[in-house]
Amino acid sequence: MKRTTLLGLAVAMLCSTGAWAYDADLAARLAPTVAKMNQAGLAKGATKLSAENFLGMVAKNEKLTVLDIRTPAEQRFVTLPGALTIPLDKLMQKDSLDRLPSEGTLVVVCHLGSRAAIATTLLRAIGVGNAVYLDGGLSALVNAATPKGLPLE
């Protein structure tokens, strides 16, 4: 009985070592970007923009660029005409960063806003001070843009 228990424990430990592993290649690719971050940039954090305020900015023709960080698969369902599309996994590459505007407000969007908040924090930490994220993402934007009182049929 003891032998079976010890053997089972040994097998379980061997099988579970992957759970403690990390992606070394990904860490190496992120290292140059993270190295550019400083405490002051991180302290700025992500700045959120409500869907209502975003719609107000659009109505006033304020200078803004929408940065859609959703995956290509997500973008097939809902497209944002005129948006700059750079999936989150490509955002920190030099050619992607070079495409970001330095003037106006850069509004980062995703489906629900959580990935956009992360992306905005990273962007602001490396010096992209005009980046904000759409709080609640495209879902909040659809809700804010839908006239109240419409029948749900």
Give the domain CATH number at 61. Answer: 3.40.250.10
Indicate the SS3 state at residue 134.
strand
Question: Rounded CA gap, 25 and 135, in Å?
Answer: 31
Determine the pLDDT at residue 38: 61
Token couple for 11: 């097998």
Determine the pLDDT at residue 21: 59
Total structural domains within the chain: 1
Residue 60 has pLDDT above 70, yes or no: yes
pLDDT digits (tens, 9 = 90+) for 106-144: 999 999 999 999 999 889 888 898 999 999 999 999 999
Domain assignment of residue 49, given as a range: 39-145
For residue 46, tell me if it sits in a domain. yes
Spatial neighbors of 50 by CB under 8 A, at least 6 apart, are: 135, 136, 140, 144
